Structure 1
Amino acid sequence: MTRKRTPRILFVCLGNICRSPTAEGVARVQAEKAGIDVVVDGAGTGAWHIGEPPDRRMQAAARAAGYDLSALRARRSVPADFERFDLIIAMDEENRRELEQIRPAGNDTPVRLLLPYGSSGRRDVPDPYYEGGFDAVLRMIEEATEALLDEVAGGLAT
């Protein structure tokens, strides 16, 4: 009997301090509650916040909704992520384009946007770092991540 490999998903935003750590934390909790075996991580396309915890405002919104992001630390996405992960989820189109620029030649790991998995009708998760709206961003991420995990449970969403 062959054991099915645990799917590995990387969530990516700009600095890895607001949207992608939230998606990582939400996905981890939702997967655990649903009994879905998945490995999740987060990264940013920029290097400004490497080693820093998520933005305190995002942590507060997440904590109020039952998610603890305090142990997460920002890191930058690297070409090796395309080999380590089965699916890379970008928070917006700019992040998706930046990821494509570091994709190793010949690699076919899917890079998708998060929000099309949900029902918001939006493509890009707004960046609350400058615009605010941390609670609204959290709700968008929760809804889309739940739909993503539903697909993962039925076989990795590619």
Structure 2
Amino acid sequence: MHVTSTPAPDQHLRDLALLRRVRDRMDREYAQPLNVEALAAGVHMSAGHLSRQFKAAYGESPYSYLMTRRVERAMALLRRGDLSVTEVCFAVGCSSLGTFSTRFTELVGVPPSVYRNDPMLAAESIDTAGLPACIAKQVTRPVRNREAPLEART
């Protein structure tokens, strides 16, 4: 019997399919109270295994991915201008205004209140009308603030 530390190709493909289900769930249910334990239970993995496999497959932790989805949606809601920052925070599934503001600032480069109130930021936003949804999502995804300390990005 040959023991190896890497999964067999069939298991690797099954794991990737499960990870895609987790990612799709976060895309769909970003405003719901999601945590790694609940996501892992939904695909019958331990939270630690899910976190390691997700980061290996997608380059970021499940929490980081979920917060990026929430910030993307928050950017759209803030551009609309009819909701306060606090209302947007809760609408996208965050339970802490401080955590939301910190993460938003890390990803976008300015605090959510500045983003909402600065007409130049809204004017500089890319017009996605007529773009396929997959392209619009890619060009509007927040880019991590490269000056944020590495520890703050995890």
TM-score of the superposition, structure 1-length normalised? 0.28
Greater Rg over alpha carbons, structure? 2
Larger relative contact order, structure 1 or 2 (CA cutoff 8 Å, min sep 6): 1
Relative to total residues, which structure has the larger helix share, 1 or 2?
2
Relative to total residues, which structure has the larger strand share, 1 or 2?
1
